[in-house]
């Protein structure tokens, strides 16, 4: 499988990782815990070791599922989890309500240590491979946040430090106070903003880049049935990107790249995942899965390398059909 290294940490992982946001259930219309645990195990069995999770994914639920899935085989996986979205305190800045609880952005020193202990317990482990600040906190100096993370690293509770949802200026501020091993940002064929903002800074400082929503919440997984409805708290319900007009544009796009897909003997989703990790893209694509079948399919994308002609064909088709995607 194609692999990469998480910055200067020396931690090697595949170019595809498993994202567990949907497993937490919140904003995804609920979930199936047994299937989620099986999906995590299937992902590791298929060669994908990086499992990305966060306390905010179901208020600890996704982390608990990861811990259960990896029990007895912790060393087979690389666990990335996060801090900074809290419900044990109302310090920081209010962000949203989850299951009736107010969640705040807060990255104060004591809170980070509290969160780390809670995550370690849910994950049933004594160390976290990559610890990421989930969302940034305007009320806490970056120096204080980074000092806490560096202390956790010295204590052996975390192996590497990451940041997510940052501006280039904020990333530069983190780098002034210590080693950052990875960023985690939204990135896909239709979400490419970081190519001109964060990725050049990462390349300059040897910071790995993890791309979340590599399939754009499922938009790029393949043609979507026009009759499919998203219900409950599923964030895709009412999302204009999932309109009938956009579904028609996406259908035309996938028809356009079908010959390439057939030639490479891969699925549409695998083609899109491989595109995100091409040269000039992100180091690792984080892909959500809620069933073993989805996890196995995503893992196979780490074996797919696109040449310049394939990349050009995808870019040209996207320019024809997706340029005006709302």
pLDDT tens readout for residues 56-93: 999 999 999 999 999 999 999 999 999 999 999 999 99
Sorted by sequence, the CB contacts under 8 Å of residue 258 that are 6+ apart come out as none
Backbone angles phi, psi at 247, to 5 degrees: -65, -35
Q: State residue 15's pLDDT score.
A: 98
In a domain, 161, yes or no: yes
DSSP assignment string, 188-203 = BTTB-THHHHTHHHHH
pLDDT > 70? residue 189: yes
127 catalytic residue (yes or no): no
In a domain, 224, yes or no: yes
pLDDT > 80? residue 232: no
Question: Are the beta carbons of 183 and 157 closer than 8 angstroms?
Answer: no
Alpha-carbon distance values, 88 to 55, 85, 132, 142 (Å): 12, 10, 18, 21
Q: State residue 125's pLDDT score.
A: 98
Q: Among residues 57, 106, 174, 187, which one is catalytic?
A: 57
Which residue is listed with tokens 């990559």?
A: 130
Q: State residue 226's pLDDT score.
A: 65
Strand-pair category, 101-105 with 85-86: antiparallel
pLDDT > 60? residue 97: yes
How far apart (Å, rounded) are the C-alpha atoms in residues 123 and 118? 9
Mean pLDDT of 46-61: 96
pLDDT > 90? residue 30: no
Ramachandran sector of residue 72 (left: φ over 0; alpha: ψ -120 to 50; beta: rest)? left
Q: Which of 15, 78, 50 lies closest to 300 in space, CA to CA? A: 15
- Grade residue 37 by pLDDT with cuts at 50, 70 and 90: very high
Mean pLDDT, rounded, of the chain: 93
Q: What is the CATH number of the domain that holds 227?
A: 3.20.20.100
Number of domains in the chain: 1
Number of Cβ within a 10 Å radius of residue 222 = 16
Mean pLDDT of 207-213: 97
Burial of 197 (0-12, 13-18, 19+ CB in 10 A): middle
Q: State residue 31's pLDDT score.
A: 76
In a domain, 125, yes or no: yes
In a domain, 265, yes or no: yes
Q: State residue 323's pLDDT score.
A: 83
Strand-pair category, 3-5 with 12-14: antiparallel
Enclosing domain of residue 27: 3-321
Q: State residue 25's pLDDT score.
A: 64
Q: State residue 47's pLDDT score.
A: 97
SS3 130: strand
pLDDT > 90? residue 109: yes
In a domain, 292, yes or no: yes
CA dihedral for 83, 84, 86, 91, sign (positive or negative): positive
Q: Which of 141, 227, 218 lies closest to 177 in space, CA to CA? A: 141
Strand-pair category, 128-133 with 78-83: parallel
In a domain, 65, yes or no: yes
Task: Show the DSSP H helices in the chain as ranges.
Answer: 33-45, 61-69, 109-123, 142-154, 168-177, 194-197, 199-205, 244-264, 268-276, 292-299, 308-321
pLDDT > 90? residue 3: yes
- Grade residue 230 by pLDDT with cuts at 50, 70 and 90: low
pLDDT tens readout for residues 255-305: 999 999 999 999 999 999 999 999 999 999 999 988 999 999 999 999 999
Q: Which of 260, 244, 258, 210 lies closest to 5 in space, CA to CA? A: 210
In a domain, 326, yes or no: no
- Of 24-38, 67-81, 108-122, 292-306, the one with minimum mean pLDDT is 24-38
How many Å from the N-terminal Cα to the C-terminal Cα in the chain? Answer: 35
In a domain, 121, yes or no: yes
pLDDT > 70? residue 245: yes
pLDDT > 60? residue 231: no
Q: Which of 103, 104, 79, 73 lies closest to 6 in space, CA to CA? A: 79
Tokens of 165: 């949802």
Q: State residue 304's pLDDT score.
A: 97
Tokens of 52: 């990305």
Q: Which of 10, 11, 32 lies closest to 22 in space, CA to CA? A: 32
Mean pLDDT of 153-164: 98
pLDDT > 90? residue 28: no
pLDDT > 90? residue 118: yes
């Amino acid at each position: 499988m194609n692999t990469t290294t998480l910055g200067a940490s020396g931690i090697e992982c595949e170019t595809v990782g498993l994202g567990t946001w949907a497993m937490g259930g919140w904003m995804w219309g609920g979930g199936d815990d047994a299937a989620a645990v099986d999906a995590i195990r299937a992902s590791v069995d298929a060669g994908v070791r990086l499992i990305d999770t966060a306390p905010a994914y179901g208020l600890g639920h996704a982390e608990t599922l990861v811990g259960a899935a990896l029990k007895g085989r912790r060393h087979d996986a690389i666990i990335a989890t996060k801090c900074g979205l809290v419900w044990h305190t109302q310090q920081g800045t209010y962000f949203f309500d989850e299951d009736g609880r107010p969640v705040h952005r807060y990255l104060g020193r004591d809170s980070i240590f509290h969160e780390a202990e809670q995550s370690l317990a849910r994950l049933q482990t004594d160390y976290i491979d990559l610890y990421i600040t989930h969302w940034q906190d305007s009320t806490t100096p970056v120096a204080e946040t980074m000092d806490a993370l560096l202390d956790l690293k010295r204590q052996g509770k975390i192996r590497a430090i990451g940041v997510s949802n940052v501006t280039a200026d904020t990333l530069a501020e983190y780098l002034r106070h210590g080693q950052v091993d990875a960023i985690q940002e939204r990135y896909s064929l239709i979400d490419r903003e970081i190519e001109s903002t964060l990725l050049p800074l990462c390349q300059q400082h040897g910071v790995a880049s993890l791309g979340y929503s590599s399939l754009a919440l499922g938009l790029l997984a393949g043609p979507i049935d026009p009759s499919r409805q998203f219900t409950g708290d599923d964030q895709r319900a009412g999302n204009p990107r999932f309109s009938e007009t956009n579904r028609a544009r996406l259908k035309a796009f996938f028809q356009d790249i079908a010959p390439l897909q057939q030639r490479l003997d891969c699925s549409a989703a695998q083609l899109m995942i491989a595109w995100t990790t091409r040269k000039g893209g992100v180091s690792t694509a984080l892909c959500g899965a809620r069933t073993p079948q989805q996890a196995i399919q995503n893992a196979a994308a780490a074996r797919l390398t696109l040449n310049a002609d394939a990349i050009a064909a995808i870019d040209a088709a996207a320019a024809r059909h997706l340029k005006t995607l709302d």
